[in-house]
Structure 1
Amino acid sequence: MKLSGTLRDLSGRLGHEFRDPSLLVRALTHGSRGGEADNQRLEFLGDRVLGLVVAEALLEADPGADEGRIAPRFNALVRRETCAEVARSVDLGAGLKLGRSEMIGGGRKKEALLADAMEAVIAAVYLDGGLEAARAVILGLWQDRIAAAPEDARDAKSALQEWAQARGLTPPDYVLIGREGPDHQPRFVIEARLSTGEAERAEGATKRAAEHAAAAALLGRLE
């Protein structure tokens, strides 16, 4: 089986040449295709492989850290939003095989589909080349995020809401200020606002990421 030009390009961006190209094709096949082997089982496996490699990397980067310091960083790195951001960084959406309904509904840009496919692709690399191949791909795509993962990776939106409620204020508002960049690598600008007038803006690859960044920035000023 030969890969199409689009999938060959994707393979290059991943940094892995598939001996069995059908694994990559399956990893990119959504259940909406119907009648074809989809990526659900690969997604399940890829989630575990990603978790192992990220956990190892965090422990190696910070040998003295206890579980309480490692766990929030780990959760931030393997959550759906991060997987979708990584998927966008390699334009994984261009290679997705979707059913007609998902195609019409903009499935190539959906966070959930991108995150699931990213995990499935990791599993495909693992099955094709083993753990070392999967580790190389994951670290190549996640290394900057691992290095930048904050020690305090708590849910900033929840923390800001708790701060407001403790002072008798209404929950914060999150306002979309702008969107820039191509479809496969968008940047959203969100402003977090309190009813008392305080506000901070931040940007992110998804609206959710930008909201969390804005909430964290506002919390930082308030605290």
Structure 2
Amino acid sequence: MIAILIRDLRLAVRAGGGFGLGLAFFLIVTVLVPFGVGPNSEILKTIAPGILWVGSLLACLLSLDRIFALDYEDGSLDLLATAPVPLEGVVIMKALAHWVTTGLPLVLAAPILGILLNLESSAYVWMLASLAVGTPALSVIGAFGAALTVGLKRGGLLLSLLVLPLYVPTLIFGAEAVKRGADGADAGLPMMMLAGITLACAALLPFAAAAAIRINLR
């Protein structure tokens, strides 16, 4: 299992479709928003939590189709499906590799980019916490969507259409936690909901993704 994780991390770094692409997209979105809405600091302060979360969500989408596509093309996915290692464990490791190369850099970069959006100083802790808790759910949901579309030609658009509605609850509670933190209110409830979504996704979706892979490989 650890070997699968290390292999996927190496492939993501060498291919350049994970860490660099997602982080660059996140940076571009954050830099362009002030130009679009104007330099009004109050407006930026209000929309900062939502913009940072939307940017993180869209950045995660960019590399989802690569989670299983490379393994499917070179035949590795067939070997993994017939290996003694549980396919559900393979899905979890691939989702973890996606989060390490895409989600984790976004978590670390968000507080720095929050300066560009005039994010309230009291919200930085909640921004870090909400992204750290919520972005793993994005990777697991993305792995499920990638499993559904593996083997399809030009399945990237279909993958986005399948995954985006499932991302909405994470987006809502993540942005709400940061907003409440910025206002000085209690952000415990949205954080608990965010943690519940992540745990539920990690517990259920690997089994659904593994079943989808087995069907697509028949």
Q: Same fold (TM over 0.5)?
A: no
Query: Hey, which of these two has a bigger chunk of strand by percent?
Result: 1
Query: Which structure has the greater CA radius of gyration?
Result: 1
Q: How does the TM-score come out when normalised to structure 2?
A: 0.33
TM-score by length of 1: 0.32
- Of structures 1 and 2, the one scoring higher in RCO (CA 8 A, sep 6+) is 2
Higher helix fraction (1 or 2)? 2
